[in-house]
Amino acid sequence: MSDNRPIGVFDSGMGGLTVLKAMRAALPEEDLVYLGDTARLPYGTKSADTVRAYALQAVQLLMQHDVKMVVIACNTASSVALGPLAEALKPLPVIGVVEPGAEAGCAATQNGHIAVIATESTVRGGAYERAINAQAKDVTVTQLACPLFVALAEEGWTDGEVTEAAIERYLLPLFPEGGEVPDTLVLGCTHFPVLAGAISKVLGDKVTLVDSAETTARAVAAKLDENGLAHAPQKKSAVRFMATDSPDRFARVGSVFFGEEIEPGDVELVDLKPAAAAQS
């Protein structure tokens, strides 16, 4: 059994391209449609109600592309909107990135103490703590919002003095000398994997960094198998990019996250119409 419709992937901006990259590597047969809501980024500083309304509009646009599955490649949207989106799109499978990120953290920790860095909204909602403790109830979870990291990643400042200073300021207090410190750091925001090199440089090799990209790609593969939804073998799969603002900027900054050159001409500018539920 096969299903040749594309998979829809959504993020508030370009960070979700780190998940798209892992999906491309793990699922080379699949056609992918990616939507970045760049006009309304960041989601991470907004209220849960606003993020839910935006996310609903975004997935409704993906549905117009006849997608067979939706991946919420945004931690903020996954943490506050996964349940309502899954309900609204039933029976279409919807996968978020928080559970796969939690799974990666639980697999990596040796001492049972995980730190999670994310946006303010993800931290406030506590979804990572719940997801980690659902998988391993005795694990201690320390959460920290690092909103400036989103701006650094967007600016392409993935290393250098300013980036390292910001990392030191946010993260060193989580790892005091001689204290009971986490041995694993979950990058609970899709923007953060591009800062992984600089974070490792500051924290050293005693802390294992994990993100949700690869575990999400595995969760997608499992769901495709489970539901008989995998694409039939094909020579070259397609990726379609859409953004709600500035295709030029999406292509330039997105190339850093995607790890491949994206041409501005390959990015379609789209408008998200308010969903009925968001208007009421």
Per the DSSP assignment, residues forming a β-bridge with 94 are 70
Residues engaged in binding ligand DGL (CB under 6 A): 11-13, 15, 41-44, 74-76, 119, 122, 150, 189-191
Active site residue 189: yes
CB of 70 to ligand DGL, least distance (A): 15
CB of 119 to ligand DGL, least distance (A): 4
Query: How many residues comprise the chain?
Result: 280
- Measured from the CB atom, the residue of 15 and 254 that comes closer to ligand DGL is 15
The closest alpha carbon to 111, from 34, 56, 185, 216, belongs to: 185
Residue nearest ligand DGL, CB atom distance: 44
- Measured from the CB atom, the residue of 41 and 171 that comes closer to ligand DGL is 41
CB of 13 to ligand DGL, least distance (A): 6
- Measured from the CB atom, the residue of 12 and 109 that comes closer to ligand DGL is 12
Contact 80, 53 (CB under 8 A): no
Contact 232, 30 (CB under 8 A): no
Active site residue 146: no
Burial class, 213, CB count within 10 angstroms (exposed 0-12 / middle 13-18 / buried 19+): buried
**Kind and range of the H or E run holding 59:** helix 48-63
Radius of gyration from C-alpha coordinates of the chain: 18
Which one of 51, 61, 97, 189 is the catalytic residue?
A: 189
CB of 234 to ligand DGL, least distance (A): 30
Phi/psi at 275 (5° precision): -75, 155
Contact 105, 187 (CB under 8 A): no
CB of 277 to ligand DGL, least distance (A): 21
Sheet harboring 208-211: ordered strands across?
A: 140-145, 113-118, 184-187, 208-211
- Measured from the CB atom, the residue of 101 and 230 that comes closer to ligand DGL is 101
- Measured from the CB atom, the residue of 43 and 175 that comes closer to ligand DGL is 43
User: What residue has token string 């979950």?
Assistant: 186
Residue type, 111: N
Which one of 9, 74, 80, 242 is the catalytic residue?
A: 74
Q: Which residues are catalytic?
A: 74, 189
